[in-house]
Amino acid sequence: MSILPIVFSEEVRSALNEGRAILALESTVISHGLPYPLSIEVLNELESVTRANGVVPATICLLDGKCLVGMQERDKERFIDKMQDEGLSKIALRDIPMAISQKKSGGTTVSATMLLAHKAGIKVFATGGIGGVHRNWQDSKDISMDIKALEDIPVIVVCAGAKAILDIPATLETLESKSIPVYGWQTDEFPSFYSRESGLKVERIDDLDSLAQSFILQTAITELRRGMLLANPIPKESEIPFERIQLLIEDALKSAKGISGKELTPFLLDALAHISDGESVQANIALLKNNVHLGSLLARKLSQLS
């Protein structure tokens, strides 16, 4: 039993008891990644996509210092109230203990969601994009805690690659240095969130069976126990061409002068949404759904094998 104050939704609790497939979803994308009220509509849609695939969604967040694994309707209402009253925290891995002791509410980032999913016994987690090595890292030293979590926590993260607001080559090299496996779903090219391309190669994987098998092996061998990244390209019809998004990102980065630390990623996402006139938000929603669909299939595969 975990010493973390984990509260399961009824749906997640019974799925755990019955050994049914569960998919973890994060909440920073809701609290900080997308504008409200669209953010909540998107969350409900992601949960519907999960259920339509026969999988139970476990949206993870902190609410009044409790670690929620699965948000019920009343939790979402309280989360929104908190957002409107005092604002929600962005809670990364290192922030969890203090957030609990100060009874905070907030969105859990990829790193924090990975930990709570793992503690709850959930192996697959779908999100939009991971944090990584920021551009200008040589000076700023800004490397997301998501990479640290992928190194330490045995959960598979399905994402649409890494955003071009990051230094993608440096992000991939760092993942490799830390011996974190990265696979491209039915692609030889590492996707860059809004675009299917990045110009960088990735090891291709075409079947979920071998992926699930290798994750089970990796988890069983102490020296290899770590996370795994499955990069799923955005659907063609929703992508923003790489050259075009690069230009928009340059503009967003210019406007981010003086912004650093945990504020940087939400700031850049918001700036991009404005500069692209909402196009980046539409792309974000499309890739989230796509990742949740693939994550659900993977969660099912893993629950059949384990």
Q: Which residues pair with 159 in a beta bridge?
A: 231
Whole-angstrom distance, CA of residue 303 vs CA of residue 124:
10
Q: Which part of the chain contacts ligand PSU (CB under 6 A), choosing from 24-32, 96-104, 202-210, 219-227?
A: 24-32
Decide whether 219 or 265 has the Cβ nearer to ligand PSU: 265
Distance CA 133, CA 143 (A): 4
Interface stretch with ligand PSU, choices 125-133, 194-202, 237-245, 271-279 (CB under 6 A): 125-133
Q: Read off φ and ψ for residue 140, nearest 5 degrees.
A: -80, -25
| Partner whose binding site includes residue 26, from Mn ion, ligand PSU, none (CB under 5 to 8 Å by kind) | ligand PSU
Site residues (CB under 6 A) for ligand PSU, limited to 243-282 = 262, 265, 269
Cβ–Cβ < 8 Å for 109, 67? no
Q: Annotate 99-118 with b (16+ C-beta within 10 A) or e (fewer).
A: bbeeebbbbbbbbbbbbbbb
Name which of Mn ion, ligand PSU, none residue 191 binds, using a CB cut-off of 5 to 8 Å depending on partner kind: none
Which lies closer to ligand PSU via its Cβ, residue 27 or residue 303?
Answer: 27
The binder of ligand PSU chosen from 15, 24, 55, 110 (CB under 6 A): 110
Whether the Cβ atoms of residue 113 and residue 90 lie closer than 8 Å to each other: no
Contact status: 192 vs ligand PSU (CB under 6 A): no
Instruction: State the minimum distance, in angstroms, from the CB of residue 222 to ligand PSU.
Output: 26
Catalytic residues: 26, 163
Rounded CA-CA distance 120/98 in Å is 20
For ligand PSU, which residue of 144, 187, 219, 303 counts as binding (CB under 6 A)?
144
Give the one residue of 9, 16, 24, 33 binding ligand PSU; rule: CB under 6 A. 33
User: Which one of residues 146, 167, 189, 270 is an interface residue with ligand PSU (CB under 6 A)?
Assistant: 146
Judge contact between 69 and 122, C-beta under 8 A. yes
Interface with Mn ion includes 146 (CB under 5 A)? no
Structure tokens at 219: 């988890």
Which of 75, 95, 142, 239: binder of Mn ion (CB under 5 A)?
142
Separation between Cα atoms, residue 65 and residue 129, nearest integer Å: 26
Give kind and range of the element (H or E) at residue 90.
strand 89-91
The Cα–Cα gap between 92 and 113 comes to 8
Interface ranges with ligand PSU (CB under 6 A) = 26, 28-29, 32-33, 109-110, 128-129, 131, 144-146, 163, 262, 265, 269
